[in-house]
Structure 1
Amino acid sequence: METEIVSDVSERTEAILAAARRMFLGPGRVSMDDLARDLGMSKKTIYRHFPDKQGLMTAVLDRQFGVIERLIADAAREAEGRPFGERLRKFLVAACDGLSAIGAAQLATGRGDAVLRRHVEHRIDAVVYQPLEELFREGQRQGVLTAPPELLGEITRGAVERLLNSRLPSQLNRTAADLFRTTVDTVLYGAIREDHP
C-alpha cells in the first residue's frame, strides 16, 4: 500500500512540475490559482508538494538546467576528436538552444523575483559559462585561439544574453539559437587560427 501512495505522490509531483514548466516558462504572468485550475487540483494540494511558488519555480528551473547539461554533454560526445572550432560551435549551439527554450536570459535579467534571478544567474554560470571558459582555455593551450579566452568569454556571454532578450529573432522570423549560430560563425570563428586543425 505504501508503494501506491509514494507512486501517487510522485506522479502528482511530476504532473505539477510539467504543468508549471509549460505555464511559468511561457509568455505572460501565471498565478498559482491559474496553475491549480489547469491541473484541476487545489493550491493546498500543490503546496503539499512545494512550499511556495518560488520553490516550485526553482525545481522547474533546476530540471531545465539538467536538460541543458545533457544537451551540452551530448554535443561534446558528438564532437569528440573533432577540430576545436567544431567542438566549440556544437557546445555553443547546444547551450543557446537550451537557454532559449527556458527563457533563461529573461529570467536572469528582470522577470521574476530577485532570489530566482540570482538562482538563474548562478545556474547559467555553472552550467554554461564556466565550462565554456574552460573550453576557451583549452583552445588557448592548443594554440588554436588568437584572442584571450577571457575576451572570448565576455563576447560570447554578451551575444547569448543579448540575442535571448532581443526582439530581433522574431523580427527576422528566426530563433535566437539560429541567430546565435550566425554569431558564432562571424565573431568567434574569426578568433580561430585558419592554419590549425
Structure 2
Amino acid sequence: METKSVSGVSSDDTQRADVIVEAAGQLFFAPGCPRVSMDDLARELGMSKKTIYRHFPDKRSLLAAVLDRKFAAVERALDAAAEDAEGQPLDVRIHRFLIAAGGELEKLGAAQLALGRGDAMLRQYVERRVDAVIYRRLHELLVDGHQQGLLPAPPELLSAIICGALERLLTSQLPRELDWTAADLLRATVDTVLYGATRPGDHAVGDAQNRVVRPVLRGDSPG
C-alpha cells in the first residue's frame, strides 16, 4: 500500500501539477546534473516561476512531491517482487526483495546526493521513507524466517545490524571502489550477517556479481 503524500500541493489543477513534478524529477535529479534552480525548471517547462509557485509554494514542497512519486514507484516494485517470490524459500524471497530494493535505491541515488548537499529536513524525509518502505519490509521477512525456525538470531538484532551497515555502505565510497551496484551491496551485507563471511569448502574470493551462492538455512539439508 502506498504511503500518504506529504508534498503539500496547494492547487486543484492536478494535470499541470503532474507536469511540473515530472519535469522537476527529470531535471533536478538527473545523474551527474549540477544544482538546478527554479529558474532552470521554469525555462525547461516554458512557464513562469509564478505559475509553478501557484502549485507548489516553495522548492522544498516540489522536491517532496517528486520524492512522493519516486517512493510510490519503489513500493510498487517491492510489492511486485514479493508477489513474484511468494511461496519460494526464505533465501530466494530475501534476494528477490534485495534485487528490487537495490535497483530502486540506485534510482534514488541522485536525489539523496542532491538532498545531502541541501535541505536537512528533506534529507531526513528521505531517510524516514527508506526506513518505512524498505527496511520495514526487510524486517518482516526476517521475522517470518525467525518464526519458521530458519533464523535463530532475534530479527530485531538482524534488522539493526543490516540497516546500520547499509546506511553506512550506501553513503560511502565503497560502491565505487568495488564497482558494485546497490543490489550487490544489499545481497552481500545480508548474506554476511545471516550466513557468515566464510563458507565450509569455499575459500576462493570471486566476483560478487558473477558468483551465485545459495546459503544453507537452518532446516535445509546440506546436500
1:66-77 superposed matches below 5 A: 66-77=72-83
Gaps of 5+ in 2: 1-12, 197-214
Give the alignment's TM-score, normalised by structure 2: 0.74
User: 1:10, CA displacement in angstroms?
Assistant: 4.1
Q: 1:29 aligns with which of 19, 23, 35?
A: 35
Give the alignment's TM-score, normalised by structure 1: 0.82
**Change beyond 3 A, Cα 1:40–1:192:** farther
Decide which moves more: 45-54 or 23-32: 23-32
CA displacement 1:14-73 (0-9 Å, x = unmatched): 221122112222343221112112222211111122121111111110111111111110
Separation (CA, whole Å) in 2 of partners of 1:105 and 1:186: 28
Seq. identity, %: 57
* 1:87 alignment partner in structure 2: 93
The answer to whether the 8 A contact 2:82-2:93 is kept is yes
1:127-146 superposed matches below 5 A: 127-146=133-152
Q: SS of the counterpart of 2:152?
A: coil
1:40-55 superposed matches below 5 A: 40-55=46-61
Alignment length (residue pairs) = 189
Choose between structure 1 and 2: higher helix proportion: 1
* 1:177 alignment partner in structure 2: 183
Separation (CA, whole Å) in 2 of partners of 1:109 and 1:76: 29
- Dislocated runs of 4+, deviation >6 Å: none
The answer to whether the 8 A contact 1:146-1:193 is kept is no
Gaps of 5+ in 1: 1-8
Amino acid at match of 1:141: Q
- Aligned pair 1:196/2:202, yes or no? no
The answer to whether the 8 A contact 2:146-2:155 is kept is yes
- Aligned pair 1:65/2:89, yes or no? no
Q: SS of the counterpart of 1:143?
A: coil
Amino acid at match of 1:90: R
